[in-house]
Amino acid sequence: MVASERAVLFDFFGTLTHACVRGRGHERVARILGCPLPDLVAVLDASFYPRSRGAFGGPINTLRWIAEQLGLRVSDARLRAAHQARIVALRDDTVIRAEAAPALRLLRSAGYKIAVVSDCGYELPEILPMLPIGRLVDTAIYSVHMGVCKPHPDMYQAAFAALWADPRRSVYIGDGGSRELTGATSFGVNAIRLGAPDLAGHLVFRSDEEFRGPVAMSLTDIATGIVHAGSTASYVEELSGPPVALLDGLDPVPAGVR
């Protein structure tokens, strides 16, 4: 059988969520490990991609590796406590955009499958299913489970395989971290950058400076534009570049969908 579903793939952090900044919860992680917060943050930032690939093993072994980089020997009990504290801290840092759920519902009502494709550690797989948008996502592809990060083609391929979807009939939406947008277009997927104003303060790694495709300011604009296949003037006005050409390949809205 030939993959025939239409899909919209979303980045998570900074796309379905507001801009990410580390909140007070990370101070508790540092206290449990027994180190200053700036030292912990420095190791976390420097090791983002290997951690997101699961390079140091499971969550406890990853935290053990982090402690070792800080010159610390930490018991398994404290490592487990630190892992739970990281889950709480990340959950507290995660503020879902108000328009995210309505946008996902609109796309689903128009027949699109929904995927989240995220570079992340072990915390997000525990958090996402519990979020209000969790039930609106058909599949989630986590780099820490895949062993690779965006823009590796396996991240996109895994989503399309899980959804039985055709990349040529699908769209990737992201803020541009991890060069995800150029990765998507290289895979043959239409891509749109979310350029929401709050992203000026977003914690991002490897920003996608090479992407020259369309930009939209909100998930509402993007979802409406996709559903109407570029026929909405307000959507076109929000985009830079050739948005209609990018979306012309999408199928029209099924009969009866409003």
Structure tokens at 183: 């990765």
Tens of pLDDT, residue by residue over 132-171, are: 999 999 999 999 999 999 999 999 999 999 999 999 888 8
pTM of structure? 0.85
Sequence ranges of the chain with CATH classification 3.40.50.1000: 6-19+96-247
Enter the DSSP assignment of 41: H
Element (H, E) at 182: helix 180-187
Tens of pLDDT, residue by residue over 13-33, are: 999 999 888 889 999 999 999
**N-terminal to C-terminal alpha carbon distance within the chain:** 30
DSSP characters over 48-71? HHHHHTTTT-SHHHHHHHHHHHTT
CATH 3.40.50.1000 holds for 6-19+96-247: yes
Q: Within the chain, which residues score under 70 in pLDDT?
A: 1-3, 201-206, 208, 229-258
Exposure string for 130-162, b = 16+ CB within 10 A, e = fewer: ebebeebbbbbbbbbebebbbbbebbbebbbee
Per-residue confidence (pLDDT) for residue 214, from 0 to 100: 84
Order the strands of the 190-194 sheet from edge to edge. 139-142, 112-118, 6-10, 171-174, 190-194, 215-216
